[in-house]
Amino acid sequence: MTLPPACRAVRRCLACGSAALQLILDLGWQPLANRFVHPRDAGQNEPIFPLGIQHCRDCLLVQLTHVVDPSLLFTTYVYVPSTSTTWLAHCEELADDVVGRARLRPGDLVVEVGSNDGTLLRAFQRRGQRVLGVDPAANIAAQADAAGVPTLNRFFGEAVAREVLERCGPARAVVSTNVLAHVPDPVGFLRGVGVILASDGLYVNESPSLHEMVRHNEFDTIYHEHVSYFSLHALLGLFGRAGLHLRAATPRPVHGGTLRVFGCTGKEAAARGVRAPALADLLAAERQSGLADGTALSAFSARAERVREQLTRLVQAVRAEGRRVAAYGATAKGNTLLGYCGLTAAQVEAIADRNPRKQGLLAPGSRIPIVSPDWLRARPPDVLLLLAWNLADEIRQQLAWFGDAGGQFLLPVPEPRLV
């Protein structure tokens, strides 16, 4: 198949430029995970792109084998984090952590890159800080702006960073959650952070943790939006290349395992608020698990195939008994899972999701209809595949009635199981 024009093969490491790239996992050609299909376009083929990850043997960055033009992925967006109370609580904790470590005072500027609907910045506003968001999605940025979170609708990079500096002055804190992993030029992104960060400022970044992804078989978190999969080893090198010092790191439980790291420019003794936990412990854990020498990655690939076999077998068995299957959470990762396992509307009747932007559309690839959670009450299935397994506690609590009525939840990872 020929590559679509908006896609390019990654032949040199996106962080260090090395050509020593080794394939880890090939998930085939897949549509874009957040490109939900309008029913009026159901008869048309959607664009598909190669999806796989590879490992740089020099700087250890795990990255996609092919990257898609970000303007295709992010200029209009359907995902908002504010549907989840788990995420709202996480934002409060994150804001407290940043205010404490950076010793933020009322009126200090906090810039968030990839600010989506402004959920996190509102937590800083409640603590008295001035805020500015930067986000490429025109629809979501306009919504945040209208709701009182000033938002610059741009892709972030060094040039935009200079614009921000001119407009607002240096930031005492720059925050990015689930964004650095999304950019094809992570060094340029981090250099931009360095441009706007005050000399005593703190940079806080959260990205999905490669360590946890590998430990828990979370291969479904691989999709075209996620360009990089970070270990602490790779992040240390990346920060250094961009002139930032990575001073501390702490694992957080959200999104199936997140790594929060703290950096500064070193223009002053900016590490003031950046103390332990020690990086050494996390680095040792990565080495021990085989991430640094790459051995953990080949085992990961074999386990992804096993999950595929087990899940498809389980769904087939449930259907063969005449029982009905639906899913919950029209997640981006869910679309990788469905695509890789070849599950379609023939096995999974519908996907329930709270986000009204997704309801009424069809999931990319599988073309399973997205419905409101009310659908579940009206037509309760026997088995509910949890595509938002990262929010399982919150969702199972909300859907206690479903379990009480004899319904079973199907968790796909780390190993498919009915609960």
Binding site residues, ligand DWN, CB under 6 A: 79, 83-84, 178, 225, 255, 329-333, 353-355, 358, 388, 390-391, 394-395, 398
CB nearer to ligand DWN: give 102 or 350.
Answer: 350
We find the least distance from the C-beta atom of residue 184 to ligand DWN, in angstroms, to be: 14
Residue type for position 54: Q
Smaller CB distance to ligand DWN: residue 95 or 195? 95
Q: Between 330 and 383, whose beta carbon lies closer to ligand DWN? A: 330
Q: Whole-number minimum distance, CB 357 to ligand DWN, in Å? A: 9
* Radius of gyration, alpha carbons of the chain: 21
CB of 391 to ligand DWN, least distance (A): 4
Nearer to ligand DWN, 78 or 264 (CB): 78
**Considering the complex, what minimum distance in angstroms separates the CB of residue 23 from ligand DWN?**
23
Cβ 223 to ligand DWN shortest distance, Å: 7
Smallest distance from the beta carbon of 198 to ligand DWN, in angstroms?
Answer: 27
Q: With respect to ligand DWN, which residue has the nearer C-beta, 31 or 194? A: 31
In the complex, the smallest distance separating the C-beta of residue 400 from ligand DWN, rounded to whole angstroms, is 13
Residue among 197 and 330 whose Cβ is closer to ligand DWN:
330
Nearer to ligand DWN, 175 or 195 (CB): 175
Q: How far is the CB of 332 from ligand DWN (least distance, A)?
A: 4
Phi-psi region of 243 (alpha: psi -120 to 50; beta: other; left: phi over 0): left
The residue (of 84 and 205) whose beta carbon lies closer to ligand DWN is 84
Minimum distance from CB of 59 to ligand DWN (Å)? 22
- Measure the CA–CA gap between 13 and 65, rounded to whole angstroms: 10
Q: Pick between residue 246 and residue 395 the one whose CB is nearest to ligand DWN.
A: 395
Phi and psi at 122, nearest 5°, equal: -60, -35
